[in-house]
Structure 1
Amino acid sequence: MSRADDRRRRVHDAARILPLLGVVLFALPVLWAASGPPASSARSGLYIFAVWALLIVAARALAYALSRAERGPRGPGPSP
């Protein structure tokens, strides 16, 4: 296996894990409420918004990495 194949596989794995990570992160405020005194709704709302924004940024970065990995390395020579 080459380094490019390893990189492509890691990026694909990260893309598969991102939705699961999002579900876990979005479920945390529910777990906070069940474990003790309720947190303020403003704090929970800000947390949800921050997680949402970070997931968008992560998805954009993974999309860029996936498109770059699928194109393959650019070597010397004419472009197709």
Structure 2
Amino acid sequence: MPFNETFGECLKKLLKIMNLKGSALAKGINVDPSLVYKWLRNERVPSYSSYHIDSITDFLMKCIINSFQHTKIINA
């Protein structure tokens, strides 16, 4: 992913590759869906020291279901 992308743009791209909706992410990391949609619209960005980053990473890693998704994520 290019370094000039926002957090929301990167998150959107990852969700699209993995065929997930923001609501699934919200449920998977136990946050209100409105928070995820704020991230996706770049209205809010989680602090890098918050648990949200780790939770998002863990959830997305568990959702990779095939090598095609893995390759798309690596090359995004």
Question: Shorter-chain-normalised TM-score: which range?
Answer: under 0.3
Greater C-alpha radius of gyration:
1
The answer to which structure has the higher helix fraction is: 1
Relative contact order: is structure 1 or structure 2 higher (C-alpha 8 Å, sep ≥ 6)?
Answer: 1
Q: What TM-score results when the alignment is normalised by the length of structure 1?
A: 0.26
